[in-house]
Amino acid sequence: MKNINFSFFNFFREYAVLILIVFLMIVLTLSSDAFLTPRNLLNILNQNAPLAIIASALTLVIIVGGFDLSTASIFAVASVSAAWIAVNVNPYLGLFITPFIGILLGSLNGFILTFFKVHSFLSTIATSLVFRGMAILITGGFLIPVRMKEFVWLGREKILEVHVAVYILIAFAVISTIILNKSKIGRYIFAIGGNEEAAILSGIKVNLVKIFAFSFCGLAAGIAGAIQVSRISMGTSQAGLGMELEAIAAVILGGTSIYGGAGAVWRSIAGVMLLALINNGFNILNADPFYKDLTTGIIIIAAVALTSGKK
Amino acid sequence: MAFISIKNISKNFSGTQVLNNINLDLNLGKIHGLVGQNGAGKSTLAKIIGGTYRNQFEGELLIDNQKITKWDSNIALEQGIAMIHQELALVNQLSVIDNIFLGIENSAFNFFVQSSLSRYQELEDKIQFNLNPNSKVAELRIADQQKVEIMRALVRNAKVIIMDEPTSSLTNDEVLKLHKLMLDLKKENYLIIYVSHFLDNILEVCDDVTVLRDGNHIKTSSSKSETKNSLVEGMLGKSLDITFPKKNNSHYDEVILELNNVSAENGIRDISLKAKKGEVVGLLGLVGSGRTEILRTIFGIDKITAGSIEFEGKNINQLNQVETIKNGIAMIPEDRRKLGLVLKQNAKENITIANLESLSNGIVLNSNKEKDLVAELIKALDVTPNYIEGNINFYSGGNQQKVLFAKWMFVNPKLILLDEPTRGVDVGAKSKIYEIIRQFSEQGITVIIVSSELEEVMGLSDRAYLVQDGTIKDEIIPNSTTLDNVIYSLFDIGKKAS
């Protein structure tokens, strides 16, 4: 009897985020006919693809024991660079250069925090300002509208009724999962987050692994930035403001340990979806949007309470 | 020629000389013991060889006749030298097998294509540790975690394995197994450097033994020509038998703690025991028998599922640790670095943390009173160094333990639970700790003591319980039986289980 209770409790804790998603889906299905339609669900996925891509990669950073508060700024640099290059050089080049911009800025994060041995929380606050400043310089403070067909396809085009962005999200999540669970570097990410000392004593090049994790996170922010700028066909230095915290919230909400050493990519995507469902619920129920932040906050507290060690 | 050659090696930590011109040659195919009191420098020497201190020492280290220029634990590993640390260095969240192969996984272009299970099995066939490769390390007992560390060294093709106090948390039969493994490894031409406080263990398996005292090399000789006494003589510079302080003959009558048929979520079941005011009660048992769990249950860490715990006639079943401490119960845990001490705080702060109320006038702390009280305690317990603001991170095991004792003396509890109070503690500090325990008893403080050193429990306690398989098997009066009898009955039970 005792054992059954115990394992039920463990199961609940382990999959709290999924249980909450199912719960919200049931509530929304019962309260609105517009909710449980392929169109609405795919829409949610599409709208949140940029955030989910960032959260997938951020999972690696948080498991390795770091934080990345600069993802939104990298996102902004990538999107304004894409827009600027699209207008001034070539729209395809603009889109395809964003992953490299992301990797470059992400690896810069990695180098700074390993070279100066500062906590990533601090170093990425600093670089987020630097990157945001770069985005402002690139735009010169103006908006960069890009209406070319060769540019907006990435964010708007559909293949078989599904947005391109959704395919990119799926591919990115699969790759992140494989790296994390089926590769050496993934194993090292867990090891460093779990016990950095032990990782060093095992001959793991800890700095290199950290630089990888931050570069990967930068890559994600770059790709996400390209999707977003292509979708709104407008480069703005203020793109993605506040997104870094949303991404962190989603990762933690999904159940990845904020202390590092444990977690999974699917959890972060589930975290994004949970936040998205709350948002969607407000829209389709026509609820007073003044209550949205309040409700989101309360649900985050509820999720944290469910997953914490406290019985 | 010697595989490892140490020439004039010295080391100091911010001005304190811990090693002084050590010269030593170590050969493959041998087990070499390193003994000395805590602070004698044996761990430091082991860590220099193992690469923990990198190049930060004076003198020369030659591996295979090559003078090393750059040195750290990874290079040492490449040269075939693996170190098993006293504070185990494993990743708790990863499984046994993942820890063993961490850093040397089978992979193709960074991705895993086949599991390491066949390599694991190959090793397991050789050494038979019987671990579940998929268990998380966090769920293993310290003894099993140590096995994981040994396996890690073996799969890295180490030629030299340095073991720093490997037996301090093992039961007697586990020690025997470890010794057998060491002898097997020796036959396969490994060099084992065996650092230990347990002189019997050293004498049993080592070919040669080196005695260090205050950072000086006293002697290296064949262990056949040494006895426990001759080693202690070398360590202390004089002969010293470990003696236990006299037990007071007073009669204890006031029952202060009573457990009635207690079972708990940690697996102990149907425990009934009594402890009287001022009495020293021992729990004798093997590692994993449930002795530590009994303490944890009394202290309110693990929840009880049946029965009752009465303390001073009051039911304390459902109390948490804060409340048990308020009621006058203290616990000094086994893993003092992790659970007992705040290593970032100094000696004073560690000592007063559990009873700051007594130093506070309601608004601020009286720091003069604090300093005086701490100075007094440090003097009474003979803590070295005797600075009240000393950095305990660098204290020896014995002195860290004394700081913990001071902390609880300051709280002035009615009942103290001691889990392995002398683990990793040198001979001198041990007898001081024994004295303190008897002193507690004289002050009317009840002590419940758990230790892997059966002699210690026998020598200290007025009354003892035999613990096996999560429950109490017997109650004994140590003075009216012998250690042999106890070991016999503990192992008789052990035989039945296997």
B108 in contact with A, Cβ within 8 Å: no
Distances (CA, A) of B200 to A140, B175, B179, B184: 78, 11, 12, 19
Per-residue pLDDT for A58 more than 70? yes
Residue B87's pLDDT band, with cuts at 50, 70 and 90, is low
Per-residue pLDDT at B454 exceeds 80: no
Task: Answer whether B318 touches A (CB < 8 Å).
Answer: no
Tell me which of B83 and B242 has the higher pLDDT: B83
Q: Is A199 on the interface with B (CB under 8 A)?
A: yes
> For residue A285, what pLDDT is reported?
81
Q: What is the mean pLDDT of residues A251-278?
A: 91
Percent of chain B surpassing pLDDT 70 = 92
More confident residue, A155 or B168: A155
Interacting residues of B215 by C-beta distance below 8 A, sequence separation 6+? B17, B18, B19, B20, B40, B41, B44
Q: Which two tokens stand for residue B454?
A: 């059966």
pLDDT value for B494: 37
Tell me the average pLDDT across B255-284.
91
Average pLDDT over residues A102-108: 96
- What digits encode the pLDDT tens for the residues B210-241? 999 878 898 899 988 888 778 877 876 644 45
The answer, for B103 touching chain A at a CB cutoff of 8 Å, is: yes
Sign of CA dihedral B160, B46, B34, B284: negative
Torsion angles phi and psi, residue B318, rounded to 5: -100, 15
Exposed/middle/buried for A125, CB within 10 Å: 0-12, 13-18, 19+? Answer: middle
Average pLDDT (B302-324) is 87
Q: Which of A97-106, A279-288, B55-64 has the highest mean pLDDT?
A: A97-106
Higher pLDDT, B318 or B236: B318
What average pLDDT does this structure show over B394-414? 84
Distance CA B98, CA B91 (A): 9
Residues B82, B86, B91, B95, CA torsion sign: positive
Q: In this complex, which of B90, B93, B110 lies closest to A185 when CB atoms are compared?
A: B110
Q: For residue B199, give the 3-state DSSP assignment.
A: helix
Q: B299-308, B387-396, B445-454, B487-496: which has the minimum mean pLDDT? A: B487-496
Determine, yes or no, domain membership for A300: yes
Q: Percent of chain B at pLDDT above 90?
A: 20
Token representation of residue B179: 């010794």
Q: If pLDDT is split at 50, 70 and 90, which confidence band does B493 have?
A: very low
Across residues A58-80, what is the average pLDDT? 95
pLDDT for residue B484: 67
Beta-carbon separation of A187 and B98 below 8 A? yes
What is the average per-residue pLDDT within B124-129? 80
The 8-class DSSP code of residue B338 comes to: I
A17 is a domain residue? no
At how many degrees (to 10) do helices A265-284 and A292-307 cross? Answer: 150
Residue of B92, B102, B113, B116 for testing the chain A interface, max A β-carbons within 10 Å: B102
User: Average model confidence (pLDDT) for chain A?
Assistant: 89
Q: Give the per-residue pLDDT at B15.
A: 58
Of A178, A185, A202, the CB nearest to B102: A202
Mutation choice for A interface testing from B77, B90, B91 by most A CBs within 10 A: B91
A227 touches A98 (CB < 8 A)? no
DSSP one-letter code for B215: T
Query: Are B370 and B348 in contact, with CB atoms under 8 Å apart?
Result: yes
Phi, psi of A57 (to 5 degrees): -75, -35
What is the C-alpha separation between B243 and B156, in angstroms, rounded? Answer: 43
- Of the pLDDT bands very low, low, confident and very high (cuts 50, 70, 90), residue B497 is very low
In a domain, A28, yes or no: no
B68: tokens are 């090393």
Per DSSP, the residues of A13-46 read HHTHHHHHHHHHHHHHHHH-TTTSSHHHHHHHHH
pLDDT of residue A299 exceeding 90 = no
Question: Is A182 a domain residue?
Answer: yes
Model confidence over B155-180: pLDDT tens digits? 888 889 999 888 766 777 778 888 88
Contact B110 A2 (CB under 8 A): no
Residue A216 pLDDT class (50, 70, 90 cuts) = very high
Q: Let me know if residue A23 belongs to a domain.
A: no
ipTM: 0.73
A238 at interface of B, judged by CB pairs closer than 8 A: no
Q: Residue B16: its pLDDT value, please?
A: 63
pLDDT score of B339 = 64
Do A198 and B77 count as a contact with CB atoms less than 8 A apart?
A: no
Is pTM beyond 0.80? Reply is no
Read off the pLDDT of each residue in A77-105 and give the average, rounded to a whole number.
93
Has residue B295 got a pLDDT over 60? Answer: yes
pLDDT of A201 over the 70 cut: yes
Whole-number pLDDT of residue B498 = 32
Output the pLDDT for position B479. Answer: 84
For residue B396, pLDDT over 70 is answered with: yes
Band of residue A223 on the pLDDT scale cut at 50, 70, 90: very high
Residue A240 CA, distance from chain mean position: 11
Q: Is residue A72 a part of any domain in this protein?
A: yes
Show Cβ contacts of residue A175 under 8 Å, excluding neighbours closer than 6 positions: none
What domains lie within chain B, and their CATH numbers? 4-236 (3.40.50.300), 255-497 (3.40.50.300)
Residue of A nearest to B50 (CA): A201
CA angle B120, B124, B125 (to 5 degrees): 120
Task: Calculate the CA B106 to chain-centre distance.
Answer: 35
| Other CB atoms within 10 Å distance of the CB of residue A127 | 24
In which domain, by residue range, is A214 found?
A: 34-307
Q: Is A18 domain-assigned?
A: no
CA proximity to B301, closest of B285, B327, B287, B321: B321
Cross-strand pairs, B449: B282, B418
Query: Is residue B495 pLDDT above 70, yes or no?
Result: no
As a whole number of angstroms, the distance between CA A104 and CA A120 comes to 17
pLDDT of res. A213? 97
Residues near A293 by beta carbon (within 8 Å), at least 6 away in sequence: none
CB contact under 8 A, B91 and A204: no
| pLDDT surpassing 70 at residue A131 | yes
- Which residues of chain A does B74 touch, with a Cβ-Cβ cutoff of 8 Å? 200, 203
User: In this predicted model, what pLDDT tens digit does every residue of B9-29 receive, in sequence order?
Assistant: 998 875 567 888 999 999 999
When pLDDT is cut at 50, 70 and 90, the band that residue A65 belongs to is very high
> Rounded distance, CA A109 to CA A128, Å?
9
pLDDT of residue B287: 66
Q: Which of A174, A196, A201, A208 to mutate to test the interface with B (most CBs of B within 10 A)?
A: A201
With cut-offs at 50, 70 and 90, classify the pLDDT of residue B34.
Answer: very high
- Tell me the mean pLDDT in the region B115-131: 83
Q: Which of A263-277, B44-58, B376-390, B425-439 has the highest mean pLDDT?
A: A263-277
Give yes or no for residue B460 having a pLDDT over 50. yes
By mean pLDDT, which of A51-55, B191-195, B359-363, B474-478 is the weakest? B359-363
The answer to whether the CB of B389 falls within 8 A of the CB of B348 is yes
Mean pLDDT of B447-476: 88
Across A124-131, average pLDDT: 95
Residue B32, SS3 per DSSP:
strand
Q: Where are the beta strands (DSSP E) in A25-169?
A: 144-145, 158-159, 162-163
- What is the count of structural domains for chain A? 1
The backbone torsions φ and ψ at residue B491, rounded to the nearest 5 degrees and listed phi first, read -85, -25
Q: Does residue A310 surpass a pLDDT of 60?
A: no
Pull the structure tokens for residue B216. Answer: 């000086």
A265: domain CATH number?
1.10.3470
Provide, as residue numbers in chain A, all residues whose Cβ is less than 8 Å from the Cβ of B343: none
Nearest to B93 among A182, A203, A261 (CB): A261
Q: How many CB atoms lie within 10 A of CB A39?
A: 8
Q: How many CA atoms lie within 13 A of B357 on its CB side?
A: 5
Query: Is A286 within a domain?
Result: yes
